[in-house]
Every structure is written in structure tokens, then in C-alpha cells.
Amino acid sequence: MSAYNFKGLEKKWSPIWEDMDLYKTGDDQGNKNFYCLDYFPYPSGAGLSVGHCRNYIPTDVICRKKRMDGHNVLHPMGWDAFGQPAEEYAIKTGMHPAEVTRINTENYKRQMKLFEAGYDWDREINSSHPDYYKWTQFFFLLLFDRGLAYQSDNFQMYCPQCRIVLSNEESAGGICWRCSSEVVKKRLPQWYFRITDYADRLLDELDDLDWPENIKAMQRNWIGRSHGAEVVFTVKTEEELVHLPVYTTRIDTIFGATFCVLAPEHPDLLQITTEKCRKDVQEYIRSSSTKTDLQRLVASEKGKTGIFTGAYATNPFNGKEIPVWTADYVLAGYGTAAIMAVPAHDERDHAFARKYDLPIIEVIAPDGVPQGVEDEATVADGQLINSGQFSGLSSEESRETMAEFAENNNFGKAETRYRIRDWLVSRQRYWGAPIPIIHCDNCGAVPERNLPVILPDVKSYEPDDTGRSPLAACEDWVNTTCPECGSPAKRETSTMAGFACSSWYFLRFASPNCTDAPFDIEEVNKWLPVDLYVGGAEHAVMHLIYARFWTKVMYDAGMLNFTEPFTCLKNQGMLISYDHQKMSKSKGNVITPDEMIVKYGADALRLYIIFMGPFEAEIEWSEEGLAGTYRFVKRIWNLFLETADFKEIETDEVFQKELRYELARTIKKVTEDIDGFQFNTGVAAMMEFLNFLSVNRDKAASVSAAWRKAQQDFLTVLAPAAPFVTDELWHILGFGGENETIHTQKWPEWVEEDLVKDTVEIVVQIKGKIRDRISVPVNSSKEEIEKIALSREKIQEYLKGSIPRRVIVVPGRLVNIIG
């Protein structure tokens, strides 16, 4: 008997499967189609760690099972290749980013093949290739033509560390998503996509998606729809009447407004400021402009700051004049950048009013009882008091009637606002898809329809702090003629953020070689939307929201017949290193699949990755655990070879029945667990079955046919998780011929009748405590079971002759006697 030699098996089988095109996308007319997609990876120089395996191995297992189930499977892989790290490396070494990318993708691909992830490499795509980014540019123009791309020089987030502007999604919490440094505000002309136009649909269409609840919650939060009202206050300056619209979700508290606050960035701030206050206000604007949002927030924890403008605004509801302040606790980018402050019923306004000694007027009484508002704001809804004609109404009804009242009197209306901002998509960087726009003095921003706009070679990839792209230095390329009027014009020198490339790649995989369109609609309709999308949770409000947005735009343009790209989404849990920290190159605690495969083999690694715990759970790496699945594989090898040959002996009917029962139970469990993403318990079921076979190995010959059937089915259900050892044993044991492979066999079905036992053990409880166990025929009636249970000697002893008040019988499970 030969010893288990995983290296030999890996060397032998990989090329054989490649020759048979095992992973080629299926195309059988009668089969259902299944599109399984992994997140578009950025090929980093660090290569793959075992953490990445938690993404790629489970999807591979699913796809292998789906193929055996009779599905056409599309499981592609490609590279989100544009981006900063390749460019940074190029800046440091002078190597072209394309070359850096080529080396890194080759390494990723090599590693994926090491653990035998079965991708259809004929469909490999690379977003930095002109054949691909031509279509990214095409979609930019689609958005442009539909009025969804525009230029603006609003404030934007800038990461000084990465020297790059960021979208709001990329700088959530004032922190750069890539390097975690604090972002600052800059004002540069940039390109935006009007994602806010789609806010309602992005929010409402989340409901029906089979996505993790937390991801949906994050998107809902991020979109942040709120229903409120805009109310126009007025300020009389010496020269004119300035309208000052404020946004509030609590119009019911408007009689309690005792001052207004404008963000320091508010456009009308200096206009309304009185001469006397001007100097101080200017100084306040200057000092707050130097702070990051994060610094403002931190500073405000010690106490909010602000300054009086000298102006007074009139509350249209009661004609009262209240002072106007500026303070940086009011955000520039939200609502109207101006608020009415109601210190009695808003914590922030309360803190501000206390600090600057502004009046506090109580106007809401929860359940009709005023709570007092000197020490603390009352934020709960209630009954309106001190509110003129509206007094006595509830908060809820007054929000409606007061908004109507404002509208009827032309000083306001009900309004819905969103937290989400437009998507800042341009980057002053080299390694990205050039934005296909030409700037002409006569015609303005003109689309370049002659695509692709090829990224030219440049001498220096270095971005500068002035906001000029490295492409700007490339004069031959920049200077062109206007496609509309023919006069000299200049190309847009910024490139698109990487998230543009990944907003449509899932469509490209359906027809990766399509040349006259971004995709072949027939192929797209055949495969999409994606049936199963798997990746980490970190893209909840970045990639996943952008991709949904582009899909809806394409739908509106009549290019697609679906509005959501990803039907089912799963997030794998993080893999924590042995030192309880995230794996990272800088911490030096990265474990690579390469070293583990050398030590234990690909099958053991694959099994461990799916067995270590629930798919979504964060789990700590344990090499001892991997050694455990390695032992499991080795035990299969030894036991199956040991029981490979039989001499005919008399059949052991009892054991045969038991074996069939265990086999059926195992097939059922493994089938249901892989389908339900419960790989860990599926593997456990296979381990249990092996334990069962192992304990009964001496009976193998007494049930030879059933034993062989058990071996065959066991290998087949194990094949997706452990492709090498199963194919080898399958051949050694003679289940398939030379040109066959276990991986194209039909997924076994369990025999339902085998799951029916003759007798079943039932526990007998007295008042919920187990006192005895009885074995009864499986189809015994409740009465029969009760009779047997009550007649047991042990039970009689416990009952001591007393007559049970009640007996509950659950056939097949238990008897509970209540004394």
C-alpha cells in the first residue's frame, strides 16, 4: 500500500484537469446557468495570504458542486489593476506600472492555481488594458450624455499622505480608506457623478436583495434619507432682504427656535454679517477652514465654538427676530448649511445655548407633560406647547400640518434630504483610465468619442501638490483639436478613480472578448445578475454602491433588463493571525498558502479553510487545526486503500442497513450544508462518516457492494473540497476510467428510504429530567410509546406508584411525564 503523497498528486492532476478544460465555462443547453463571482482583486505586490483563501476556496467549492449538480458555471477571475500602489512603486523604482502589474497578476494567478481554484482563465480580464478601459471611458460618456457627469470646484476631501482627492465614501469618518490618515479639505475643479439622483432607488431597491443585514444597514445609513422641511427665515441687512432657508426634521419645534446658525462656509455669511462683527467672523471662518472635520469634532467635545454675526433673522411662523450665529458644528455640505437652533429639544443646540447664554424655550411636552429643559434637551416627540395656533397638536401631526402651512404661505415646504453626496470620480493621477473629455475655449467640455483615449507613456509618474496630473506634462498628448469646432483644445488630464473600473467588470465577464460593445447583451442576459457574489465587508458603501448605481444607469439607458447586479451577497470573515492581529506585511505575521501547501498539501488547506468555523465569522489562524484536516485526508487515504479488496463472505444485513443509513445521512447533510454555505458542519459530517467507516473497517468485506458504494459516494461529495485525493482514490478504487475524472461525475443523491430506521431510541423524562431510554419500533403510536415508557422499572421507581398528571409523547424523540 502506497503512502499518501500530496505533492505527487498535485503534480499529477493539475495538468490533467487543465488539459481537459475542467474549469471552462459550461454551455449545455439543458442546464441551468450559475454565475459565481469573487470581488475584483487588486493584485498587490504582497501576494495572497491564507486570509484571501477564505474568499476563493469556498466559492471554488460551491462552483465545483454546482457543476456536478448539472449547472453551467461561470466562475471568472480578473484584475482591478489600475491604482495607486502600482504607481507608487513605479515612482520609487522607475519601473512602468504596467510591468509592476504584470508581475503581480502572474503571482496571484500562480498562487490561485496552487490551491486549485478553478477559474475559467480564458475569460481573464485586466482593467488597465485599453481593450477594457475603452469601455470604462464609454460608460463615462454614457453618464456625461445623460447629464450624470459634471465638473465642480466644491470642497472635496484630500489625503495628504496619498496625495489624492477622495470621494466621500473613500473618506468616511474623515479617514482615508487606504492609508488611514486624516483628510483635509481642498477646492479643485473635479469631475463628479450624480449618484444623488439615484438615492431613492439605491435605498428602496435594497429591500429585496439577499444580502447580509449589516451591509444593507450600512448602505441605508450612508444614503441617509430624512424627511423634514425647508423653512425660509429672512435677514434684513442695510441694503437688502436676504432669504435664509434652513432645513429641519423637527419643524414641530420651530416656536422654540431661539437663534440660527450658519456653517462658516455658508455663501451668504459675510453678506449678512454686520460691520461691527465682520472682523471676528472673518477670523472664525479662517480658523475653522484650517481644521479637518475630525479636528473640528474633537475640539467640539471640549465645547462648541461659534460667533455672533450681528444679524437677526425673522422666524416666519411667529415673526420673532432671533440672532444669527456662525459655528462649525453646522456642516457645510448638508441641507442648506444653515439651521434654526432649538436648544430646548436638540442636544447640540442646547450645549451651544448654555455656553453662549442664549435663551431656551420649551415647546414640546411628551405625553402632555413638560420635562423641563434647563439642564438637558427633551428630544422625544410630544404635544406642542407655546406654539401659537399649533399648540395642542402632537409632534407627528404638526410636522405635516406645519410644512403645509409654510408651503401655503410661501415660506417653506416639506423636503426630503440625503446624506449621500455626489461621487467625486476624477483623480490627478497617472495610473488610471483617462477621462475622455476635451476642453475647448469655444465649446467647453466636449466628449472624445474616439475611444480608447490611450494612456500615454510619461517620464515621471509623480503627482504634485498643486493638483496637476502627471499627464499634464505630456504636451503632445494634451494638445489636440476640438472634435466639434476644430480649434486647438486640451485634453482632460485627470484619470478615473479605480472604483469606476470595478463598477461594470461583472458585466464584462459574460463576454470578455466582445470588441464592438462593452458586452454582448445575449450573454449578459444569460448569466446576469450575478447569482452569488463573495468578498469582504469593507466595500459596503464604496464598490457595492457604485456598481449598483452604474447598473441602474445602464438600465435607464436601455442597455440592461435588470436593475440590481448582485442577487446574493456573502461576506467571508476575516482571518486573524496567530498573534491576534490582522495579517499584514508590516506586522510580519502573514501566512501564505504557498508555505502551508508545501507542508500539508492543497487538499488539507482547502478543507481547513472551510472547516475552521462559520464562513462569515472572524477566526484566528491555527496551524494545529490545519494539521487536523491533514490527518483527516491521510486517514481517508489509508482506510480506503486498506479496504480496497474484498473476499466474498456472508452479508451482514444489520450492518449493511446501518451503513446505508449513515451514508444517506452524510450525503444529505453535505449537500444541504454546501448549498447553505455551512461548510464547517458539512466537513464535520464527512469526518463523522469516516469515523464510522474506520470503526467498522473489519466488517467491510461483509457488505462489500455497499461498502464500495459508500466509498464512491463519499469521495464524490468530498471532491469539491479536496479535489486531488478524491480523484486519485476514485481511480485507484476503479470507479472511473483513464480519461474520466471524479469532478465531472453526477452529484450523488441520498436514498430517502435508507434514512428510515426500524427502531428508534426515545428518552423518557420525568418533569423534564431524563430518567431512562427506551427503544421502540419507529412507527409506534403515541399510546404504545407511553405504555412502554410507563411500564419501565426505573420509571416506576421514580413515580413511586403515583399516577402521572399528564404524559407528553413526541414520537421519535421523547416522552415527558409530569407527576
What part of residues 282-301 is at the interface with RNA (CB under 7 A)?
A: 293, 296-297, 299-300
185 forms bridges with which residues in the sheet? 157
User: Which cell numbers in the block locate residue 785?
Assistant: 410509546
32 forms bridges with which residues in the sheet? 71
Nearer of residues 217 and 654 to RNA, judged by Cβ: 217
Where helices occur in 676-778 by DSSP H, the ranges are 679-695, 704-718, 723-732
Q: Tell me the backbone φ, ψ of residue 115, rounded to 5 degrees.
A: -95, 20
When asked if residue 576 is in the footprint of RNA (CB under 7 A), the reply is: no
User: Given candidates 70, 173, 486, 734, which one binds RNA under the rule CB under 7 A?
Assistant: 173
Q: Which stretch binds RNA (CB under 7 A): 66-74, 78-86, 561-569, 624-632?
A: 624-632
What part of residues 592-621 is at the interface with RNA (CB under 7 A)?
A: 611-614, 617-620
In this structure, the strands spanning 321-327 and 259-262 are parallel
CB of 170 to RNA, least distance (A): 10
Q: Tell me the backbone φ, ψ of residue 561, rounded to 5 degrees.
A: -110, 20
User: Given candidates 53, 344, 553, 814, which one binds RNA under the rule CB under 7 A?
Assistant: 814
Decide: 31 and 78 in contact? Cβ < 8 Å.
Answer: no
When asked if residue 767 is in the footprint of RNA (CB under 7 A), the reply is: yes
User: Which cell numbers in the block locate residue 349?
Assistant: 443646540
Please list, in sequence order, all residues whose beta carbon lies within 8 angstroms of the beta carbon of residue 612, skipping any fewer than 6 positions away. Answer: 619, 622, 625, 680
Instruction: Go through 175-186 and write b for each residue having 16 or more CB atoms within 10 A of its CB, e for each that does not.
Output: bbbbeeebbbbb
Counting residues that bind RNA (by CB under 7 A) gives: 83
CB of 415 to RNA, least distance (A): 10
When asked if residue 362 is in the footprint of RNA (CB under 7 A), the reply is: no
When asked if residue 734 is in the footprint of RNA (CB under 7 A), the reply is: no
What part of residues 521-550 is at the interface with RNA (CB under 7 A)?
A: 537, 540-541
When asked if residue 687 is in the footprint of RNA (CB under 7 A), the reply is: yes
CB of 622 to RNA, least distance (A): 6
Decide: 490 and 535 in contact? Cβ < 8 Å.
Answer: no
What part of residues 33-52 is at the interface with RNA (CB under 7 A)?
A: none
CB of 336 to RNA, least distance (A): 8
Q: Which stretch binds RNA (CB under 7 A): 53-61, 188-196, 510-518, 691-699?
A: 691-699
CB of 358 to RNA, least distance (A): 15
User: Given candidates 485, 649, 770, 778, which one binds RNA under the rule CB under 7 A?
Assistant: 770
Q: How far is CA 611 from CA 440, 576, 608, 722, in A?
A: 61, 15, 5, 12
CA 747 distance to own-chain centroid = 31
Q: Which stretch binds RNA (CB under 7 A): 626-634, 646-654, 655-663, 738-746?
A: 626-634
Q: How far is CA 335 from CA 23, 55, 120, 266, in A?
A: 52, 40, 49, 11
Decide: 383 and 364 in contact? Cβ < 8 Å.
Answer: yes
Q: Which stretch binds RNA (CB under 7 A): 72-80, 83-91, 627-635, 775-783?
A: 627-635
User: Given candidates 34, 140, 284, 329, which one binds RNA under the rule CB under 7 A?
Assistant: 329
When asked if residue 622 is in the footprint of RNA (CB under 7 A), the reply is: yes
When asked if residue 491 is in the footprint of RNA (CB under 7 A), the reply is: no
When asked if residue 348 is in the footprint of RNA (CB under 7 A), the reply is: yes
Decide: 32 and 69 in contact? Cβ < 8 Å.
Answer: no
Q: Which stretch binds RNA (CB under 7 A): 47-55, 77-85, 86-94, 676-684?
A: 676-684
Binding letters toward RNA, positions 237-266, x by CB under 7 A: ----------xxxx------------x---
User: Given candidates 141, 393, 458, 684, which one binds RNA under the rule CB under 7 A?
Assistant: 684
When asked if residue 627 is in the footprint of RNA (CB under 7 A), the reply is: yes
CB of 575 to RNA, least distance (A): 11
Nearer of residues 262 and 446 to RNA, judged by Cβ: 262
Nearer of residues 330 and 435 to RNA, judged by Cβ: 330
When asked if residue 695 is in the footprint of RNA (CB under 7 A), the reply is: yes
Instruction: Return the H-helix or E-strand segment holding 294.
Output: helix 293-302
Nearer of residues 517 and 808 to RNA, judged by Cβ: 808
Instruction: Return the H-helix or E-strand segment holding 809.
Output: strand 806-810
Nearer of residues 244 and 438 to RNA, judged by Cβ: 244
Q: What's 21's DSSP letter?
A: T
Q: Which stretch binds RNA (CB under 7 A): 67-75, 108-116, 223-231, 508-516?
A: 223-231
Residues in the chain: 819
What part of residues 399-438 is at the interface with RNA (CB under 7 A)?
A: 417, 419
Where helices occur in 737-806 by DSSP H, the ranges are 782-791, 793-799
CB of 404 to RNA, least distance (A): 17
Instruction: Return the H-helix or E-strand segment holding 312.
Output: strand 306-314
Q: Which stretch binds RNA (CB under 7 A): 11-19, 117-125, 683-691, 720-728?
A: 683-691
Instruction: Find, among 233, 235, 225, 236, the residue nearest to 254 by Cα.
Output: 233
Q: Which stretch binds RNA (CB under 7 A): 40-48, 129-137, 495-503, 634-642?
A: 634-642
Instruction: Find, among 249, 53, 87, the residue nearest to 162 by Cα.
Output: 87
**Can you tell me the distance from the alpha carbon of 719 to that of 745, in angstroms, rounded to the nearest whole number?**
10
When asked if residue 681 is in the footprint of RNA (CB under 7 A), the reply is: yes
Nearer of residues 106 and 347 to RNA, judged by Cβ: 347
Instruction: Find, among 540, 676, 534, the residue nearest to 213 by Cα.
Output: 540
Decide: 35 and 524 in contact? Cβ < 8 Å.
Answer: no
**Can you tell me the distance from the alpha carbon of 492 to that of 472, in angstroms, rounded to the nearest whole number?**
9
